[in-house]
Amino acid sequence: MIKAVVFDLGEVLSSPPSLLPELAERIGTSEELLKEHYWTGRVEYDSGVPDRHYWGPLLSALGVSYDDALLAELAYLDADIWSYLRPAAWQLLRDCRAAGVTVAVLSNSPHAMQQAADKAVWRADVDHLYISATLGAIKPQPEIYLGAQAELGLKPEEIAFIDDKPANVKAAQALGWHGHVWVSDHDTRRWLEELGVLSPA
């Protein structure tokens, strides 16, 4: 019996089309140029390195001068944009809680996301929020799953996990979690119905 559903954040719950446009406008560059550099160094950033270690090289590559204030502003702007959930995804969180299961979010995200997500309106619909930079471990490292499982106080077979990256899902499944690669909100709902978490509409 599933007692907790753990959702990834980026793409699974949040896919903001305004991400690159808003950041590019603030930086003063084009979306195309920003896209070339946005994911460079992101794994390290999500692992917990300081804002300067990610945004500094990115801005330098774009030929933009910066100070600590701009670095902090971009870090929180980035996190705020990512913390906007699609309405259908947010409804899934609510429906899972209404069904009586624990709801958690397990995200590979930088430190700024902890503050942004904690302030987000959907935070009230999530029992546990796990941010990789805060935890000092990152998916698909086993430690991040084991840490979440220990806090949930559940057996691995009692946990359902949804992520858009197959490697992250496989890592969870290797520990005994039920895992599903995200395709769409409708597909996620159907999978949760198959597990018996949600009742068919």
pLDDT tens sequence across 60-79? 999 999 999 999 999 999 99
- 38 Cβ neighbours under 8 A, 6+ residues apart: 20, 23, 58
DSSP SS3 for 107: strand
- In this model, does residue 201 exceed pLDDT 90? no
pLDDT tens sequence across 138-164? 999 999 999 999 999 999 999 999 999
**Residue 63 neighbours by CB distance under 10 Å:** 9
d(CA 85, CA 78): 14
| DSSP string over 127-195 | SEEEEHHHHT--TTSHHHHHHHHHHHT--GGGEEEEESSHHHHHHHHHTT-EEEE---HHHHHHHHHHT
DSSP conformational letter for 42: H
pTM: 0.96
Q: 81 with 110: CB under 8 angstroms? A: no
Q: Is residue 171 exposed (0-12), middle (13-18) or buried (19+ Cβ within 10 Å)? A: buried
pLDDT at 86: 97
Helix (H) or strand (E) holding 79: helix 68-82
pLDDT at 73: 98
DSSP conformational letter for 85: P
